[in-house]
Structure 1
Amino acid sequence: MQYRPLGRTGWNVSAISFGAWAIGGTWGTVQDEESLAALHRAVDLGVNFIDTADVYGDGRSERLIASLKKSRKEEIIVATKAGRRLNPHTAEGYNRANLTAFVERSLKNLEVEALDLLQLHCPPTQVYYMPEVFGILDDLVQVGKLRYYGVSVEKVEEALKAIEYPNVQSVQIIFNIFRMRPTELFFPEAKRRKVGILARVPLASGLLTGKLKPDTSFERDDHRAFNRSGEAFDRGETFSGVDYEVGLAAVEELRPLVPPGMTMTQFALRWILMFDAVTCAIPGAKRPAQAEENVAAADLPPLLPDTMEKVRAIYEARIKPLVHHYW
């Protein structure tokens, strides 16, 4: 396992970490016993950073992580998120009373006295232009409820605005072979300011595993069935905003580029780690075997420059016109 610095926190976190959205819900059937087994296997293999949110299964994901931590001696850094419990989800809802209540609920779910890293959970763009919100987070650090804070964003614009606030330690953003825009302006600026980058949706909701087919069916409670056009939340969160059939075709073009001994999943994750601005990728895993496949990507050899160029060419031709200007 590689470890990389997370912002200015002093923490070094596993380059392949664990995204805990799927074990909470909206990814089809999930069993807590199997989810815990996946978490344990990831930690066995060197993962020391887990990303979750208070809305993943209405706290289910956070409570599973609390159970994991009780039975492990290793230091496990947990990042959670707050804000999406708001209904309606408006900028005005990001006030002291609400944020404090969300933090208190996550403290209870995770069974800790302070949250390691709290992230605003893809708030409306207006929130990034409200310094008082970041002042509230500073106050929560001061009183010992949070150790550090960051943001989870939909757009590069939001990421660039967020890191103007001096105590933002991390930005979580969709970054994968189908979403390359963050490399252009955001990555250099984040590196300059020593802000950590958490690459979420690293496998484009499973498209980049190479395991999905035109006739793959998704359960009704799986966002890949109900959010393809953004019916429930930002459509960029599902298949990275790429049309399913277009994504499958692009994957077939990528497949010959995968080196021997590497799966398509590992290729997609190793591609992300080629960018030194990235702190970690946070793929999900509902089963131990998935965690094993994900984690193994961290120790694979670097991809060749020629391979990186060919990946970009496929993106430029197939994907860029569909997603680049949106996020």
Structure 2
Amino acid sequence: MEYRTLGRTGFVISEVSLGTWQVGGKWGAKFDHKLADSILNTAVDNGVNFIDTADVYGDGESEKAVGKLVRSHADKIYVASKCGRKISPHINENYTPEALRGYVEASLKNMGLEQIDLIQLHCPPTEVYYRPEIFAEFDKMIQEGKISKLGVSVEKVEEALKAIEYSNVDTVQIIFNMFRQRPDGLFFQQAAEKNIGIIARVPLASGLLSGKFSRDTTFLEDDHRTFNRDGAAFDKGETFSGVDYDLGLEAVEEIRHIFPDQNLAQIAIKWVLMHPEVSCVIPGASRPEQVDDNLATIGLPPLTDEQMAAVKKIYDHKIKAEVHQLW
């Protein structure tokens, strides 16, 4: 495993870490704690020391599984959770300091921990980023020892730029992959200047960049890749990174020509890690074998300047017009 520092938090974390959206079962399925334990322990046994979860993953069951893992290991495992997505309806007016404090305290109870290493606002409405009283409440919880550091998980670059204006925001989790390259501009520049930790999520564009899908691929009815392509349930940028499925398949075929006979999922993760501003990438896994596959990225040689330029050309010519201005 290779490690990087998570910005000014000082946390030294595995550059390939683990996101737990799928841990314990597929979207909509009953949470499987045995499966979750297997996935989590496979990750930690291979050097992963940063786990990203959220109170809405498995309706708190993911946090319980992560807490169990942390409590059973003597070595330090950094836990990042998220709060706010349980607010319903999920609108700015329903975001209050009291509500967010309640969610943090519920997460502590779920995990059986005295302190959360990193709590992140979970993709709140854009207006929330313009409310200082929300961010001030987390300072109180830091002083009380309930949390160590504050971060945000965002949908848009605009939100990331606004969030890092607050002095207590130390990290930003953002979608960044071959199909979502806008963060590598003004945001990465300002984040580097302020030593903000960057957590890159959705590195495979919901699996599209793995190269394993085709026009004949079908997804379960309760899989977000079926029902959220147009943003019916949440921001459509979370599903295939907002890229039209057929267009994405065409772009993947072009990427395949740059990297013939190579594991495209590993290449996609390596591409993210080629950006030094990124502290870690958090691919998900729904079975232990996927963890092993993701972690094999560590052994790959760096991508060449020519390969990076070729990927950028595909993005510029095929993808950029569809997604760049939206997120």
Q: TM-score, normalised by structure 2?
A: 0.97
SS in 2 for 1:283: coil
Map of 1:156 onto structure 2 = 157
Q: Which residue of 2 aligns with 1:23?
A: 23
Change in CA separation of 1:13 and 1:131 when aligned onto 2, cut-off 3 Å: same
Deviations 1:165-220 (A, max 9, x none): 11111000000000000001100110110000000111000001111121111112
Separation of aligned partners in 2, 1:305 and 1:259: 17
Q: Distance in 2 between matches of 1:103 and 1:42?
A: 25
In the alignment, the residues of structure 2 paired with residue 313 and residue 98 of structure 1 have an alpha-carbon distance, to the nearest angstrom, of 45
CA contact (8 A) 2:108 2:114 kept: yes
For the 8 Å contact 1:115–1:145, the answer to whether it is kept is yes
Distance between the aligned counterparts of 1:28 and 1:100, measured in 2? 27
**Structure 1: which amino acid aligns with 2:141?**
L
Equivalent in the alignment of 1:312: 312
Aligned to 2:109: 108
Distance (whole Å) between structure 1 residues aligned to residue 122 and residue 221 of structure 2 = 24
Task: Work out whether 1:283 is the aligned partner of 2:265.
Answer: no
Contact 1:34-1:287 within 8 A present in 2 as well:
yes
Query: Given the alignment of the two structures, is residue 142 of structure 1 paired with residue 143 of structure 2, yes or no?
Result: yes
Greater Cα offset, 32-41 or 286-295? 32-41
Q: Identify if the C-alpha distance between structure 1 residues 165 and 98 changes in structure 2 by more than 3 Å, giving closer, same or farther.
A: same
Is 2:266 aligned against 1:266?
yes
Structure 1 segments unaligned to the other structure (5+ residues): none
SS of alignment partner, residue 179 of structure 2: coil
- Alpha-carbon distance between aligned partners in 2 of 1:58 and 1:27, rounded to the nearest angstrom: 11
For residues 259 and 214 of structure 1, do their structure 2 counterparts lie closer, same or farther at Cα, with a shift above 3 Å needed?
Answer: closer
Tell me if structure 1 keeps the 8 A contact 2:25–2:286.
no
How do 1:1-327 residues align onto structure 2 when only pairs under 5 Å count?
Answer: 1-23=1-23, 27=27, 29=29, 31-258=32-259, 262-327=262-327
* Equivalent AA in structure 2 for residue 126 of structure 1: E
The alpha carbon displacement at 1:235 in A equals: 0.3
Structure 1 Cα separation of the partners of residues 263 and 191 of structure 2? 30
Inter-CA distance 33–234: structure 2 relative to 1 (3 Å threshold): same
- For residues 11-32 of structure 1, what are the alpha-carbon distances to aligned partners after superposition, in whole Å with 9 as ceiling and x for unaligned? 1111100000112565365643
Please state how far the C-alpha of 1:92 moved relative to its aligned partner.
2.3
Contact 2:25 2:35 in 1 (8 A): no
Find the aligned partners of 2:66 and 2:106 in 1 and give their Cα distance: 14
* SS of residue paired to 1:309: helix
Between the aligned partners of 1:56 and 1:104, the Cα distance in structure 2 is: 16
Which consecutive segments of 4 or more residues in structure 1 shift more than 4 A?
none
Q: Deviations over 1:137-177 (max 9, x none)?
A: 11111111111110000100000010011111100000000
Q: Percent identity?
A: 56
Distance in structure 2 (CA, Å) of the matches to 1:208 and 1:141: 38
3-state SS in 2 of match to 1:4 = strand
Could you tell me how far 1:36 is from its partner in structure 2? 1.7
The answer (yes or no) to whether the contact 1:2–1:299 under 8 Å persists in 2 is no
CA separation in 1, counterparts of 2:75 and 2:209?
A: 31
- Name whichever of 291-300 and 191-200 sits farther off: 291-300
- Deviations 1:116-157 (CA, angstroms, capped at 9, x unpaired): 100000011111111111101111111111111100001000
The answer to whether the 8 Å contact 1:19/1:285 transfers is yes
Q: CA deviation at 1:68?
A: 1.8
219-228 or 181-190, larger mean C-alpha shift = 219-228
One-letter code of the match for 1:7?
G
- How far apart, CA to CA, are the structure 2 residues paired with 1:136 and 1:50? 24
In terms of mean alpha carbon deviation, does 292-301 or 67-76 score higher?
Answer: 67-76
Q: How many positions carry a matched residue from both structures?
A: 326
Q: What residue identity is the alignment partner of 1:19?
A: G
Give the partner amino acid of 1:256. H
8 Å CA contact retained: 2:24, 2:35? no
2: CA distance, partners of 1:2 / 1:112: 27
In structure 2, C-alpha distance between the alignment counterparts of 1:131 and 1:307, rounded to whole Å: 43
- Distance (Å, rounded) in 2 between the aligned partners of 1:173 and 1:224: 19
CA contact (8 A) 1:51 1:78 kept: yes
Q: Distance in 2 between matches of 1:70 and 1:78?
A: 11
Residue 2 of structure 1: CA displacement?
1.2
Contact in 1 for aligned 2:56/2:86 (Cα 8 Å)? yes
Alignment check: 8 A CA contact 2:24 2:34 kept: no
Unaligned runs of 5+ in 2: none
Tell me, in whole angstroms, the C-alpha distance in 2 between the residues paired with 1:132 and 1:266: 41
